[in-house]
Each structure stands twice: as C-alpha cells, then as structure tokens.
Structure 1
Amino acid sequence: MTASRRLVLVHAHPDDETLATGGVVARYTADPDTDVTVVTCTLGEEGEVIPAELAELAPGRADQLGGYRIGELARALAALGGPRHVYLGGVGRFRDSGMALAGDGGVRATTRADLHPRAFADPGRLAEETDLLVELLTELQPQVLVTYADDGGYGHPDHVRAHEITVAAASRVPSVEKVYFAVEGRSALDAGLAELAAEAGLPYRLPDPGELPSVPDETVTTRIDCTAHRAARVAAIRAHVTQAYLWEKDGGLVAYAMSNDVAQPLLDVEEYILSGAPEGLAETDLFEGIGS
C-alpha cells in the first residue's frame, strides 16, 4: 500500500459491493492516491438463482452457488477497476445466513430459525468475526470504512452483522477516522423511480410505496457523484448474472431488478451517512477533512 488515502468497504455478499457502493468503488479505485479494499463476508450461497439454466446451483439442489458467485464477484470487481479484495477469514469461512420475511406484510427481512452452523449471522460468531476484521484493518490501516446502516438497509441479518462488526472493529483500529453507511435518500430514490415510470417498455414492476428501503433526506450527510463511472457500474451489475436483471434505455437510463422483479433505478449520485456527523454536514468526498 503506497497511497496516502485508504478506503475499506465491508459487504455481506457478492453483488452488494456493486449494488450498494459500486460508484464509490469505481471512483476511488480510479484515483491513484487511494487504496481501495473490498471485504466480502460470505459467498452468497443462499441467494436465489435467476437464470433457469443455472437453477441447479441453488442451495436446495447442488448447493454450488457460492462457488459460482466467486467468479461473478471477480468479474464485477474487474469492471469497477480492480480494487484489492479479501474474503473475511478466507474463502467460505462464513456462510450466507439467508433470511426470512419479518411477517409484517412488508418486505423487511429477519433472521431464519434454521441457521447453518457456519452462518455469518450466528450470534456465537460475532466476536470471531470482529477479531478477524480488526486484524485485517490493522494491516490495511484505512482512514475510511464503508458498510450498511444498523438495520442493514432492509433487515437482512448478514447486512446487520456486517454493520455490527465494522462499527466494533473501527473502535479498535486507531487509523480509522470515519465510518460511513450506504443508504438511499427518499427524494433521490423517488425521482429515479418517477423517471422509470415515465418510460415505456420497462420490463419490471414498479415498487409499492415504501417497498424499497430509503432514509429521510435530512439524514444523508454525503453525496458522491459517480456519473463518470456509470459504464463500469453497469458492467459490474451484468457480471452478477445469477442475482440481477439489467435494462438499459437509449439515452442512458438504467434499471435493474433482483429475483423479485422490482425495478430499481441506477442513481448517478451515491448517498451515505457519516457516523457521528455534526448536524447539517454536506460532503462530496469520503475523505473530506482527513489530513487537513
């Protein structure tokens, strides 16, 4: 590591790095003065498989999805510029925990009752996972960390666990100055969805009100313009063939969907919340204030 700025992003599954933070990964990887490392905590073994020809990879069948997604992730990271990549504790040490619906009639996720013995969200593994991340961060010496908000965005137990270990590890690694949570502000998401709704031929259904997670605009502290890296982000989404559909319209409009066929806009500005930020903060750079 020779760059003066060091960024680490902690993600639960392959594809999260692209869908939640692909713009930031591409933007800062392209900066020669910034070292970027993506940490992936599981292989995403419990994901649903979209292409029918790959259905046998699913956990209830051959259970080979995790291995397949290693290749998808490698191609996605290459599209995003080739940041350093690490699996927490080594490849396959922790398994995707899967999820259950919260049972409130919405799309919130919660922890399954039948956790695999290697499940990332296993309560008994919290200390082990945190220690492994501390060890990695001590080696990498980042000033900035990125992960999910405390609810994981929509409650997925692996996203929640990634938040927990990142926040805990940050308090034990002196180099860390800032911790960010990837979010989508309500206004930006609504504007993106309105743009999709106005287009003919959208192959996915529009979400019901509140179906996609978002946060109040006033909680967003940091907005990163990733317009210049849209092509890289699109290529990275395409790499995750088992997990995402992609639709492009002439003129640059892009939508993607997961196995639920719910349309999501690809927004050019990624939004984040800085942990412990002062009221009214409005940043355009994750490294703002560092080294000054």
Structure 2
Amino acid sequence: MSQIEKEPLTFMAVHAHPDDEVMGTGGTFVHYTAQGVRTVLVTATLGEEGEIVDPALDEQAKAAMFPRLAEVRRQELQEAVKALNIQESRLLGFRDSGMAGTDSNNHPESFHQALFNEAVKRLVALIREFKPQVLVTYDAFGGYGHPDHIQANRITNAAFDAAGEARCFPELGLPAWQPARLYYTAMPRSMMVEAMKELQKSGVPGPWDNPAMNTAIMGTPDELITTRIDVRKYVDHKMKALAAHKTQISPDSFFFTVPEAQREQMLGYEYFVLVRSAQTPHNGALEQDLLAGLG
C-alpha cells in the first residue's frame, strides 16, 4: 500500500487573498467536504491593499477602517469558510502586495517581496501537516497578472516538489509528503467569451461593458482544460461566501444582479488544468474528479 493510500483523502487550495477562494474553488470545496474529503484552504495574505466597497460605509468610515482592514477581512474570510464548509483554513502570514506596479509591491512584508525560500517553507509545513493528495493554485500568470497570484503559483510549484524531499526543510520536524497532483484553476475561453456576450445582451452592467476588454485573450484555451467539476447545486454556498466578503464585493455587484440562469452558467462549473501528476497521467478525456483513482 502506497503512502498516498494510507492517508485520508485531502484537497488543498492555495489562494492569494480573502475572496479568491470563492470563484475558482468555492463549489469544489463544498463538493469534496460533502464526500467526506478533508478540505484545506491556504490564504497567503489578508488583502490589506484592497479597495473598500461596502455601501454601508461612508468615506470617513472607510478611512477609519483601512488601518485595521486585515482584521476585518480575516473575519470575512472566516464567514466565507463557513459558507463553503471548508474544514481547515490557514494563513501564510504575508502582506497584500497590491496591484502590479503600485508602491505596495515594495512593502518589505508583502508577499511579492517575501524571501522565496521562506514562503516555500511555510507552505511545505502545511503540506506535510495535512498531507493533501491534490494541490490547486493559479496558473503562471496568476489568472490576471496580480503579483500575489503569480507568487502563489511560484511557491506552490516549488513546494509540490520540496514537500516530498526529506532533505528540504528538515528543521520543520515533519515527515516528507509528496502530493500526487497539482492543478491550476481555469476558465475556458469559449465559455467566458460566450457568457460575456450573453450578459451584454441582457443589459446587466459589468466589466464586459469596458470597450478596452479584449475577451479574445481572456480565460484558458479550451484545449488545455483537463477537468470540470459540476457544482451547480452549490451555487447558493458560493453566493453566501461572496456576500461574506462585503468590503470587497458590493451588493450591487453583477454576481448578485445577473439572472439566476446566467448565474448558474457563471458559477455552476469549476474548471482546472492538470499540470503535475506523480501517479495518474491525464488521458485526454475531461475529468470529473480531481481525486479520481487516489482513494
């Protein structure tokens, strides 16, 4: 019996900020928890640099909140974790780096500026503690180029290998553990383009109204998608989790205003690309289960 088979099935996703856990993996968390799989969320930062959009707050209240925004967003994250039935939630302990090219990228405590070895070590410690068979994070562009998303990709790839090598970070005092698979979150390009066309036609305001948006290069090329998880029955969980992040997602956001059928189209499936596999290679067919063959 292999090391993988001896341990309980565990799914771990590595995200950059509070609220990132909802879109690409929120339904997947609910789905696997319902199946008895241990689910673990790792969040690198607390979103200290994000804009405050809660309409219940005036500008004075927002200014007063900003110095303690990390704690506010920690509480929002905890509420979202409950909504998604996530069993374990851990923080890597870095600071939000802000959008690319901003001064906050240079903050010495930011995730962007973190010593790479230290960031990898923190993630390796969690991998060895929880022993996930499957790791999930963003692609090399971080989905849309955010420095923290890109850093999450870099450290997760490195930790995927280092966690299984006993010579790496022996000071952690934890036995080596090699995850079986690494996936990137994804959104099929054809689906994204079609959804935006439909939303524009419906008259629902949103980012698709921006004429500078080049939908032709958005999303992941369809041929790279390896896995699709049907989470339609968990859309309400995702909506509750989005609502928990009230300083980041306004009640008039398109997530809450699109018609129900289009909301299901947007949120009812979650897509992934298999990029590393220690056991079962992808055979070309669209997978329906990230943990297939690992139980």
* TM class by smaller structure: 0.7 to 0.9
Pairwise CA RMSD of aligned residues? 2.6
Task: Confirm or deny that 1:210 pairs with 2:215.
Answer: yes
Secondary structure at 2:183's aligned position in 1? strand
Partner residue of 1:186? 189
Structure 1 residues 216 and 61 mapped into 2: Cα distance closer, same or farther (>3 Å)?
same
Cα pair 1:49 1:55 within 8 Å, conserved: no
Partner residue of 2:273? 273
Alignment partner for residue 67 of structure 1, among 45, 65, 71? 71
Secondary structure at 1:94's aligned position in 2? coil
Q: Which amino acid aligns with 1:97?
A: S
Cα deviation digits, residues 105-137 of structure 1 (max 9, x gap): xxxxx5757511100111x52110101111111
Partner residue of 1:160? 150
Structure 1 residues 56 and 38 mapped into 2: Cα distance closer, same or farther (>3 Å)?
farther
Higher strand share: 1
Structure 1 residues 4 and 55 mapped into 2: Cα distance closer, same or farther (>3 Å)?
farther
Whole-Å separation in 2 of the counterparts to 1:61 and 1:183 = 33
Whole-Å separation in 2 of the counterparts to 1:62 and 1:249 = 30
Cα pair 2:27 2:235 within 8 Å, conserved: yes
Alignment partner for residue 247 of structure 1, among 250, 256, 261? 256
Cα deviation digits, residues 197-243 of structure 1 (max 9, x gap): 2324x133525333884111001111111111011011111111111
Displacement of 1:266 in angstroms is 2.7
Partner residue of 2:124? 134
Whole-Å separation in 2 of the counterparts to 1:73 and 1:172 = 28
Partner residue of 2:200? 197
Whole-Å separation in 2 of the counterparts to 1:98 and 1:27 = 31
The aligned runs of 1:35-184 (5 Å cut-off) are 35-52=38-55, 53=57, 55=59, 62-88=66-92, 93-100=93-100, 112=103, 115-122=106-113, 124-173=114-163, 174-184=177-187
Structure 1 residues 9 and 248 mapped into 2: Cα distance closer, same or farther (>3 Å)?
same
Whole-Å separation in 2 of the counterparts to 1:11 and 1:135 = 16
Whole-Å separation in 1 of the counterparts to 2:156 and 2:44 = 11
Whole-Å separation in 2 of the counterparts to 1:198 and 1:3 = 49
Cα deviation digits, residues 8-48 of structure 1 (max 9, x gap): 1101100000122111112112222x000000111100011
Partner residue of 1:15? 19
For normalisation by structure 2, the TM-score amounts to: 0.81
For normalisation by structure 1, the TM-score amounts to: 0.82
Whole-Å separation in 2 of the counterparts to 1:215 and 1:44 = 25
Q: Which amino acid aligns with 2:206?
A: Y
Partner residue of 2:171? none
Partner residue of 1:29? 33
Unaligned runs of 5+ in 1: 101-109, 256-264
Whole-Å separation in 2 of the counterparts to 1:81 and 1:54 = 32
Displacement of 1:153 in angstroms is 0.7
Structure 1 stretch 63-72 or stretch 2-11: which is displaced more?
2-11
Whole-Å separation in 1 of the counterparts to 2:82 and 2:217 = 28
Whole-Å separation in 2 of the counterparts to 1:28 and 1:128 = 30
Alignment partner for residue 282 of structure 1, among 278, 282, 286? 286
Higher helix share: 2
Partner residue of 1:237? 242
Cα deviation digits, residues 244-273 of structure 1 (max 9, x gap): 223245544339xxxxxxxxx733111110
Whole-Å separation in 2 of the counterparts to 1:239 and 1:212 = 31
Displacement of 1:140 in angstroms is 0.5
Whole-Å separation in 2 of the counterparts to 1:144 and 1:241 = 30
Q: Which amino acid aligns with 1:147?
A: T
Whole-Å separation in 1 of the counterparts to 2:124 and 2:130 = 10
Cα deviation digits, residues 48-72 of structure 1 (max 9, x gap): 1112516557689742211111111
Unaligned runs of 5+ in 2: 1-5, 164-176
Displacement of 1:187 in angstroms is 1.1
Structure 1 stretch 162-171 or stretch 212-221: which is displaced more?
212-221
Structure 1 residues 118 and 58 mapped into 2: Cα distance closer, same or farther (>3 Å)?
farther
Structure number with greater CO (CA < 8 Å, separation at least 6) is 2
Report which of the two structures shows the higher radius of gyration computed on alpha carbons. 2
Q: Which amino acid aligns with 2:159?
A: A
Structure 1 residues 62 and 16 mapped into 2: Cα distance closer, same or farther (>3 Å)?
closer
